[in-house]
Structure 1
Amino acid sequence: MQKQLNAHSIVFLFLDMDHCWILLLLLLSRDGLSQPEEVCSKSVINSCSDCIRSGPFCSWCQQLNFTKAGQQEADRCNTRAELTRAGCEKGDIISPENNMYVDKNKPLTAAFTQEEPVQMSPQSIRLKLRPGLPTTFKVSFKRVEGYPVDLYYLMDLSYSMKDDLAKVKELGQNLFDALGKITQHAQIGFGAFVDKTVLPYTNTNPKKLQKPCDEDDQQCQAAFGYRHVLSLTPSKEEFKERVDKQFISGNLDSPEGSLDAMMQASVCGSVIGWRNSSTRLIVLATDAGFHMAGDGKLAGILEPNDERCHIQDSLFSKSNDMDYPSVGQLAMQLEKNNIQPIFAVTKNVESVYKELSKMIPKSEVGVLSSDSNNVVQLIENAYNRLSSKVTLTHENLPEGVKVLYTPICDKKEPASTTRGICNDVLVKQEISFNVTVTLSNCMEEKSFIIKPQGYKDTLTVMLSTNCECSCNDPKDQTHTHCHNQGGITCGVCMCMDGFIGQFCNCSIGSEDRSSLRAKCQRFNGTECEGRGECVCGQCQCHQSESGASYYGKYCECDNEHCEKFKNKQCAGNGKCRCGICECDIGFDGSACQCEKSDEGCRTDNNNSSIVCFGRGNCECGVCECDEGYQRPNCKTCLGCPDPCQTKLSCIECLGFDSGPFEKNCTKTCRRSIYHEKVEKFSIPGKECRQKDSKACWITYKLEQLVGRDNYKAEVLMERECPQPPSVAVIIGGSVAAVALIGIILLALIKLMIYMKDLKEFRRFENEKKKSNWANADNPIFSKATTTVSNPTFTGE
């Protein structure tokens, strides 16, 4: 703000006096008018507490005689400015404010010592807030130099990581050296994982379970889910010794049990050896994706992960009994235990773990080389990114509480968000956050925690609400202001039994309070329509906001709420009486918006007295047409029956003395149709050509006159009737048709008989081809026993 004011003052130096006031108005519109307007939205107000709960800017006037006789006590509730304007003394205005008390505020620690370091202040505060009224306090943070680091190296030992394991066995010294640049209090642990030892994740053949790798690979350990190898230790030698004893294993599918291992490493703090005051890191090294909650169904595992420690003899004992954890479960436990994961993964799964990192606060992803020889540099870079990013957030936030953070850590304009984030924070650099807390409603005392992610430090915020009025009430039980028949509470009379009224001046007598109040209720509704006070069974009406009075037995009437037209009450052409417009002479309508003149509805024919062509009524100078007829003058009709059809019978009887109306033509048709027989049409209208009852074509033209069913018709002289049929032609044609049909039927019958015979013959031929009786021997035939040959027979 100071920079803005300086800039504005420089501009003033270059402006003459005639233009200064213009710039001043611009500054006021930018800075002054941008403040939130103080408004008190009152609902049902019966007491000071009701007023205070109605909104953050509502105040209550406890001044005696602030309200006059008949004026409602709810008028005591308004903004401070409005109450002052109404005559309430400042000392009599009740408006609770926000209060803050700091209970614990240890100074920030510069460097790590054996004592518990303090990286955030304050540590405990109490807030007493008024609902809707925000309060802001400052939280400071400073990274301690030499803060301890606990690093747990969690490695995938599936067969594809064989080269990487060999490299990690050589990098123990380098890992300790890299952490030594950060702190003198570093510890490193080691754990390994593969996957659940059940189908379809692992081959359950007993030989394959013991040795899941290739036959040629002799150094291969049995399959396992997660194994804790080494608790956190500052000893380089112990780390090298334990990691050297690790060998590769194997499984069937590509995704591994990474989340199982991370969950156990997070919740088994005593086994892993996490220290209370340390930066906790889990380095997950893998070249494959991960199984998550729901995948256990493939192996028939339906029990959900319970987020508890199940390590027995260094192995995850519930690996085959419990499903994988979900990403949400893991993220919650990592945040709860202040653990920051670093995903050291190969290039092929980088995108998968980057998506996972988006769902886990304070996590980083780095790409491993083919044999993990860059893992030390990867961890060092990831740690620097994690530790230089400070994220302030909250836990256990009560319902109805809103918290916003405004970081004050760089030159950029700070923005309020639900998480406070400062990047590139150096060691010993002090940063701060403005924390704004707002309550939406009154509630009992509750608390929540504000903490930087990845750090142990916390700020406990105790919340309570300021929803009651502290009024300076006289101690006497009765007061002269209440006719000594009641006491004062925040300026309002609280009557003794047997008395009611604004000033306790009404004795109930034989009637009870409810029966007296019922006399002030119309239709069992609100007492005096909410516009007055019920005094001894009669309504004393208030004044409206504009100063006019309400009236009527139940204060139901006023002269300010009639219907408006063009933003004018009663269109400016009448007076409002009890919510109804009484129009001046010459005006009509519910809002007196209509002139009684019907000049705008006159038809355009010679008869200027006809309104809306006789097919509608004139309302507010506009035709309201009968059904089907169209504005503006009701001349045309959409959806009406075709007059050529409906008037055909009348045209036939009037023009040619025939048809269904022949006997009563004059009575039925002459009232609605004026007709004339012509040789040529001379009137406008619709030309029709229809068949009459004798199948003759009648040509005529209809012009609709003023009125709903009133036509003028011109009918051509002659009808076009069809010639009578020739008897000889009809008889001859009929005989010829019968003969032709008989010939066709005979031909069809002959064709059907021929087709049937042909089908039977073909079937006989097919059966003949299939039979072999001609070539077979007769079983009862016997050959001759004696054969005699004629020596003289030549065969001729």
Structure 2
Amino acid sequence: MSLNNNLHFLKIIIFLTLKFNIILSQSNCPNLVTCGACIAYADDSCVWCSSESHTGPRCKSKDLAKATWCSENVTEAILSHTILRNDELNSGENGVKIQFTPQTMTIKVRPGLPVDFNMAYRPAKDYPLDVYYVMDYSFTMRAYQNLLQEQGLEIYKELTLLTNNVRLGIGSFVDKPAYPFKSSDNEAYSFKNHLSLTQNMTEFQNVLKDNLFGSNNDDPEGGFDALMQVMLCQDEIGWRENARRIIILSTDNTYHSAGDGKFVGAVKPNDMKCHLEDNNYNMGLDLDYPSVSQINKIATEHNFKIIFAAISSVKDHYEGLVKKIRGAKYVELSKGSNLVTMVKEEYLKLIRSMEINADLPPHIELALSPDCRKEGICIIKHNESITINAKLTVKECPSSDEASEVLVGPVALNEKLKIIVTSDCVCDCERKNTNTNSSKCSGSGKYQCGICTCNENTYGEDCGCTGMTSVDLDKCKLTLTATDYCSGRGTCSCGKCIHCKQGFSGDFCQYDDTACPSPGGKLCAGRGVCRYGKCACAPDITGPGCDCPLTIDTCYAPHSKEMCSGTGNCICGECQCLPMKTSNRTCSGRFCDNCDEFAEKRCLELENYAECNYLYNKTYCDQLHNQTSLTEVKIVDKLDNTLSDQGMAKWCKKELWNGTLIFKYLYPITSPNTLHVIIAKELEQPPEVNLLIAVGVPFGILVLIGLLTIIIWKILVDRLDAREYKNFAEKAAAAGFTVTGIVNPVYRPPATNITNPMFDANL
């Protein structure tokens, strides 16, 4: 066994020894004097001995109780977990849709003891979907009439491929029908419901074609008035209770919001109520436009997904708007836009993302894994189910002995799991009223569970005490030499200390329940209760000061699947970094990832999340990547070197099709548990290429190589000819021939002189 393995084994032994000592020192079971209080103690697993012959404390930690401790009648909390109804998941093939299971169960458990069970969810086929078009019918939208018709039909066709339970509706808006917004040439109105949600596609097509456009004077439109009425008028529009809801608002301009209505005398704030009369909004001149926050409030409360389809010239306005409305999207209104794809994706996201809601009494808590109570955590793939591991814990005994009811189920779905919870806070032997005024209790009390429950005005273990003696007083002293009874903090009654002052406990009121360790300035670190002078910690927490979590979840860096980045141990919820295998260096940081060796690895883990935030928004990206850790994302015009100069930030790059995404990540000193991802707004572009140089240089090199080749060839040929001629001359001379000065007999000079005999040069 290697030295490292020996050290690791030694650490385990030390940890287990400390853990056992903590259990020994912190067990408060012996201080509990009734059977019900013993088995219901939330901070330890206590058992009660009802044997008549038993002496000493009757309550003891189950972990410490030996077989010889109690001869008979040991009582402990009974855990029972029974599923009464568990209909299997059914997508509706036989007409019955069951999307959430189980349906009913009973649980009997003592406080502090968690009960584990599983729940499952699978969306039914043909889950209902309602899509409502809110169209801008101002005059300038006439140019997009055919486009809206085409996209409407295409959306219907695409959605029917996913579900046969889709309904569509149509409404329109122009603006408030009063000056200065109204134009005198055409009709103006705030909102009209042309077609409530229906599956009649023929009627839908006819309404799309039957358009009467109005007009207004200013650029902004009254879309907010229409949007508010569409969301609030549930019955008039025809929204189904459990349907997924999508609203598509198409326009070619910006929008009026709260405050703009004052120009036409609509000074009353929008009351967020339905005001449709004969499918027309009848309060347009009385109520102001809704505010962005009001639109967001109603959309969130009623689970609406809003898609703004607007032309590119107003893109900036709507991209800013969708960031303020939960779940809203913007898509360009154009021939080649992806509106159809976006609607399809939103529907798939709606049926794939599930949230759990739990109706819990104050004394019960429920932990889920994954925690589907948080938005975007539980993503379900198509035709697949998700299993949720649940852990139910009764924190304390309820005020009454009656069973409690817990309802758990998906948001916006009527299917729920009903849990009947009975807290095991009373022993069976305490429910029996036998042995009243038992002789074992001096005829002054009931004998139950091995002890006497005394009648009024009687005290003592056998209820034989009615007054006060010096012997009884001495029993209230912590030590024989003590001068104070009950440590000066309580009342001595029949040899027992009662009514200890607030903040003190124990048989002699000797424990100060405010003197427990206070890590971080909080008593028992705020994660336990100081009892009998010691911290009684919450589940999954240990340590003398409840400052040592047993969970390892906090040792995983955001977007990392390795505990402590694979180079450390998780101790008390914090990473203890170890030397790396490849070197003797030890990384630092909250997750042992603050070193150059891990920069490239962390960049790869974060690059997809950074790209998503660059293209979309953090809320969507957290859902997409199941991100639950503390993460801050910031997009800046230009990345600076301030933080990286301090050795805190690590720079990363990711190649995209249109450039290089630059971002950096760090854990600031002020918030070391929060990952900060800072992204450059502009992509890094490769340097521009000079086409003339790019083409000319290779061509010039090619020509130069050709010329050099010809010159070298010419030189070599001439030298070869000279050498051959020299050899020929030498051989000819050796044979007696002369090759120098000999004229070729067939050679004729190019110039010929002819003398005219009749020419007289002297003339």
User: Normalized against structure 1, the TM-score is what?
Assistant: 0.51
Counterparts in 2 of 1:317 and 1:470: CA distance versus 1, 3 Å: farther
Counterpart position of 1:478? 437
In structure 1, which of residues 394, 407, 410 is the aligned counterpart of residue 357 of structure 2?
A: 394
The Cα shift of 1:34 comes to 9.6
Q: Name the SS of the counterpart of 1:143 in structure 2.
A: coil
SS in 1 for 2:117: strand
* Aligned residue in 2 for 1:680: none
Contact 1:501 1:534 in 2 (8 A): no
CA distance in 2, matches of 1:119, 1:499: 60
Name 2:381's counterpart in structure 1: 425
Letter in 1 for 2:76: I
| Deviation digits for residues 709-753 of structure 1 (CA, Å, limit 9, x no counterpart) | xxxxxxxxxxxxxxxxxxxxxxxxxxxxxxxxxxxxxxxxxxxxx
Alpha-carbon distance in structure 2 between the residues aligned to 1:237 and 1:301: 38
Cα separation, partners in 2 of 1:247 and 1:31, compared to 1, 3 Å:
farther
Q: How far apart, CA to CA, are the structure 1 residues paired with 2:392 and 2:292? A: 30
**Residues 481 and 448 (structure 1 numbering): CA distance in 2 closer, same or farther, change over 3 Å?**
closer
CA contact (8 A) 1:43 1:54 kept: no
- The one of 413, 416, 420 equivalent to 1:456 is 413
Cα 1:377–1:54 shift into 2, 3 Å = same
Superposed CA offset, 1:335-393 (max 9, x none) = 665544444445566677667667766x3524223468643233223333433x32222
SS at match of 1:379: helix
Answer yes or no: is 1:231 the counterpart of 2:187: no
Query: What is the 5 A alignment of 1:254-269?
Result: 258-269=223-234
In structure 1, which of residues 198, 221, 224 is the aligned counterpart of residue 187 of structure 2?
221
Among residues 471, 487, 498, which one is paired with 2:446 in the alignment?
487
Give the whole-Å Cα distance in 1 for the aligned partners of 2:395 and 2:161. Answer: 49
Q: In structure 2, what is the Cα distance between the partners aligned to 1:555 and 1:390?
A: 55
Distance 1:235 1:295 in 2: 38
What corresponds to 2:50 in structure 1? 63
Report deviation, 1:168.
0.8
Once the 2 structures are TM-superposed, how far is the Cα of residue 50 of structure 1 from its aligned partner? 4.5
CA distances 1:64-113 after superposition (whole Å, capped 9, x unpaired):
46885xx7xxx55553224559934685243354x544344322223556
Asked whether the equivalents of residues 192 and 228 of structure 1 are also in contact (C-alpha less than 8 Å), the reply is: yes
CA distance in 1, matches of 2:334, 2:291: 29
Pairwise CA distance, 1:313: 0.8
Q: Does 1:379 align with 2:343?
A: yes
- Tell me what 1:607 maps to: none
Return the alpha-carbon distance in structure 1 between the equivalents of residues 223 and 394 of structure 2.
Answer: 41
Q: How does 1:89-238 map to 2 (within 5 A)?
A: 91-95=73-77, 97=79, 99-111=80-92, 115-128=95-108, 130-158=110-138, 161-197=141-177, 203-204=178-179, 209=182, 211=183, 220-224=186-190, 226-238=191-203
SS at match of 1:81: coil
Do the aligned residues in 2 keep the contact of 1:405 with 1:420 (CA within 8 Å)? no
| Counterpart position of 2:333 | 369
Structure-1 residue corresponding to 2:281? 316
Map 1:69-84; keep pairs closer than 5 Å: 76-84=58-66
Verify the 8 A CA contact 1:167 1:373 in the aligned structure 2: no
CA RMSD of superposed structures (Å): 5.1
Q: What is the alpha-carbon distance in structure 2 between the residues aligned to residue 334 and residue 46 of structure 1?
A: 55
SS of corresponding position for 2:121: strand
Q: SS where residue 506 of structure 1 aligns? A: coil
Inter-partner Cα distance in structure 2 for 1:539 and 1:274 = 67
Shift of 1:503: 1.8
Task: Report sequence identity in percent.
Answer: 27
Deviations 1:640-699 (A, max 9, x none): xxxxxxxxxxxxxxxxxxxxxxxxxxxxxxxxxxxxxxxxxxxxxxxxxxxxxxxxxxxx
Residue identity in the other structure for 2:369: T
- Aligned match of 1:765: none
Cα distance change of structure 1 residues 503 and 397 upon mapping to structure 2, 3 Å threshold: closer
C-alpha separation in 2, matches of 1:556 and 1:236? 81
Task: Assess if the C-alpha contact under 8 Å between 2:85 and 2:103 holds in 1.
Answer: yes
Secondary structure of the residue aligned to 1:502 is: coil
Structure 1 position 500, deviation (Å)? 1.8
CA change 1:172–1:306 in 2 (3 A) is same
1:263/1:108 CA distance change after superposition, 3 Å: farther
| TM alignment of 1:17-56, pairs within 5 A | 40=27, 47-51=34-38, 55-56=42-43
CA contact (8 A) 2:233 2:274 kept: yes
Q: Give how far 1:314 is off.
A: 0.4
CA gap 1:120/1:417 in 2 versus in 1, 3 angstroms: closer
Specify the alignment match of 1:571 in structure 2: none
Give the TM-score normalised by structure 2: 0.53
Given that 2:356 and 2:372 are in contact with CA atoms closer than 8 Å, whether structure 1 keeps it comes out as no
Give the match for residue 733 of structure 2.
none
Structure 1 residues 403 and 27: CA distance shift in structure 2, 3 A: same
Write out per-residue CA displacement over residues 406-446 of structure 1, whole angstroms, 9 at most, x where no aligned residue. 24xxxxxxx787457333611x2222111333454444766
Contact 2:42/2:396 (8 A) holds in 1? no
Where 1:436 maps in the other structure, the secondary structure is: strand
User: What is the aligned partner in structure 2 of residue 273 from structure 1?
Assistant: 238
- Check conservation: 2:110, 2:425, Cα contact below 8 A: no
What is the aligned length?
494
The Cα of 1:195 is off from its aligned counterpart by: 4.8
- Matches for 1:297-336 after TM superposition, within 5 Å: 307-322=272-287, 334=299
The answer (yes or no) to whether the contact 2:30–2:60 under 8 Å persists in 1 is: no
1:437 and 2:392 are equivalent in the alignment: yes
Structure 1 gaps, min length 5: 1-14, 198-202, 408-414, 541-548, 562-796
Name the larger-Rg structure: 1
Query: How far apart in 2 are the matches of 1:35 and 1:155?
Result: 70
Secondary structure in structure 2 of the residue aligned to 1:488: strand
Secondary structure of 2:196's counterpart equals: strand
Equivalent residues of 2:372, 2:378 under 8 A apart: no
Deviations 1:27-75 (A, max 9, x none): 788999999986556899564444556524252524346885xx7xxx5
Q: CA deviation at 1:135?
A: 3.0
Report if the CA contact (8 A) 2:406-2:421 is conserved: no
SS class of match (1:381): helix
1:87 to 55, 65, 69: 69
* Superimposed CA distance per residue, residues 102-154 of structure 1 (whole angstroms, 9 cap, x where no aligned partner): 344322223556x3422222234455554444333222122333334322122
Where does 1:241-256 land on structure 2 (aligned, <5 Å)? 241-250=206-215
Residue 466 of structure 1 deviates from its aligned partner by 1.0
Q: Which amino acid aligns with 1:57?
A: D
Q: What residue in structure 2 maps to residue 528 of structure 1? A: 486
* Residue 426 (structure 2) aligned to one of 446, 450, 469: 469
Return closer, same or farther for 1:245/1:460 CA change in 2, 3 Å cut-off: same
